[in-house]
Amino acid sequence: MGIIIRQSIKNSFVTYVGVAIGTLNVLFLYNKFLTPEQLGLYTALTSFPLVFAGFAHLGTPHVGVRFFNQFADAERKHNGFFGYILLAPLVGFMTFLLIYMGLKPSFEAVYAKNSPLLINYYWTFPVITFFLIYQTILETYSKVHLRIVVPAIVREIFLKATNSVLALLFGFQYISFNQLILGIILAYFFAVCFLLIYIKILGKFYLKLNFSFVRKPIFKEMYQYGLWTMFGGAAAIILPHIEKLMLPAYAGGLKNNAIFNIALSIGLVIAIPKNAIASISDPLLAESWRNNDIKHVGEIYQKSALNLLIIGLFLFLGVWCNIDSIFSIIPNSNIYQQGKFVVLIVGLYSVFDMATGLNSEILKNSPFFRYDLMFYIIRFVILLSVNLTLIPRYGYNGAAVAMLISVIVYNLVKFFFIKYKMGLQPFGIHTIKVILLGLVTYALTLLLPIFEGTAFNILITILMNSLTILIIFGGGVLFLNVSEDLNNVLKNIKKIKGF
């Protein structure tokens, strides 16, 4: 366990540094130096290849994690496993490339009118897709050897920091926009090279090919599992990016994509803590299900829902009560503050998703794990259908509403399923207390004066709102003893000498 704990702590630190760099890129660098159309293209360059790669890798990363132990034998160079996971996605990519080139007329028909810049850079998407596939494959191979920090550094710090440098070089006119795009492509190329070098340094670079397993029963299990997870994983990848694929096709084109992406980046800050809590709770839920300890599963369900609601509402209030000040400090605020409604809807989306607790984690670890994928597909169909209805009429605001509708239906379906099948539900009297406390806090912030104009006045406004939220909402949660976990954390802090 020692190496797992060390790698997990280091990986978490690297991830948060990456989030900080990514936020700097989106909110302050790229939107300052790029036009909205160019920023919309940049958004597409980070979204389209992710979706394409989700299909083109044929589920190989998931196969690698699940079946590596059945090949692991260092003396026999893992029986050609590394060669297999390098070759299998190449077949998938070549198939994707043939389809992609064949569908070029359709691509042009969809995007040429409102987003001609996408057509000009049509060739960049498969190139980035190729490098992204192999970056993912090499990360997987490192992961099965319990090495996750260096791949995380490459993904979270190297790529994002390189984007920062490229944005600055473009902003100060050292490079052209074409060279900026070429620089982004080269960054992905070097990321793959670094990972190959790292695997070589680890002594795990085995290019031996051994396909004798193809004649064994395990091969059928591998490709069936790979195809199953390919569709499930691709659906999971498409969901956060579907609006960015659809918005450029309608009026406003890439500019709308840029406005939506800026607002989305602000709103989704609220949801970041859920991933951390889910990661911590996942093994606990798995153990509880193995022991058939339904009571403990129910406790985790209720506590996670309550604590995530508290954290989510706290962050939502912090973002929404300061939204005008936030938009006033980012570059080109006159353009991007048009996405203010998107921030509100995405914020509510995040709070609702957090308030329903770890329902997906409970399902995935339970005997009903297959239903989670089915519910995910239902969510995807709803999201796609509502987007097709609302985006043509309301643009990025319609896309945000579609997100909210889909997550409400998705979580309500899981709520009723878990309640019916397991007799568990996440809500209680404390849930109502937290919501009421949030409403009271928001009402009080509306009574505060607003200082505009100078940076100092904006800072004063943010501090007043934030202190009010901290004292009324944060203090209220602790005073009312709403969450036993949060109160215990405070008690432990008070025990620190000299606090």
pLDDT in tens, 306-343: 988 998 999 999 999 999 999 988 888 889 999 999 99
Closest CA to 141 of 249, 243, 60: 60
Which of 25-29, 242-246, 367-371, 437-441 is least confident?
367-371
Tell me which DSSP letter residue 208 carries: -
206 lies in which domain range? 1-238
pTM for the structure as a whole = 0.85
> What pLDDT score was predicted for residue 102?
94
Return the percentage of the chain with pLDDT > 70, whole number. 85
Of the CA atoms within 13 Å of residue 173, those in its CB half-sphere come to 0
- Whether 81 has a pLDDT exceeding 90, the answer reads no
Q: Do the domain assignments include residue 107? A: yes
Q: Do the domain assignments include residue 350? A: no
Which of 70-84, 253-267, 468-482 is least confident?
70-84
Which of 16-30, 34-48, 65-79, 235-249 is least confident?
65-79
Greatest CA separation found in the chain? 74
Q: Do the domain assignments include residue 24? A: yes
Are the C-beta atoms of 273 and 311 separated by less than 8 Å? yes
Rounded to whole angstroms, the Cα distance separating 53 from 59 reads 10
Rounded to whole angstroms, the Cα distance separating 247 from 194 reads 35
> What pLDDT score was predicted for residue 147?
76
> What pLDDT score was predicted for residue 370?
75
From the DSSP assignment, how many helices (H) and strands (E) are in the chain?
25, 0
Rounded to whole angstroms, the Cα distance separating 177 from 173 reads 9
pLDDT tens for each residue of 140-177: 888 777 677 888 899 989 999 999 999 999 999 999 99
Q: Do the domain assignments include residue 214? A: yes
> What pLDDT score was predicted for residue 404?
95
Count of domains forming the chain: 1
**Which band of pLDDT confidence, cut at 50, 70 and 90, is reported for residue 74?**
low
Q: Do the domain assignments include residue 120? A: yes
Rounded to whole angstroms, the Cα distance separating 53 from 216 reads 28
Rounded to whole angstroms, the Cα distance separating 160 from 404 reads 29
366 three-class SS:
coil
> What pLDDT score was predicted for residue 4?
46
DSSP track, 154-205: IIIIIHHHHHHHHHHHHHTTSS-HHHHHHHHHHHHHHHHHHHHHHHHHHT--
Q: Do the domain assignments include residue 169? A: yes
Closest CA to 196 of 155, 149, 142, 148: 142
Tell me which DSSP letter residue 213 carries: G
Nearest-10 crossing angle of helices 484-494, 294-320: 70
Q: Do the domain assignments include residue 121? A: yes
The residue type of 454 is T
**Which band of pLDDT confidence, cut at 50, 70 and 90, is reported for residue 2?**
very low
pLDDT tens for each residue of 180-215: 999 999 999 999 999 999 988 888 777 766 665 555
Sequence-ordered alpha helix ranges (H) in 239-366: 242-246, 253-267, 272-290, 294-320, 323-329, 333-336, 340-355, 359-364
CA angle, 278 then 280 then 286, to 5°: 85
Q: Do the domain assignments include residue 94? A: yes
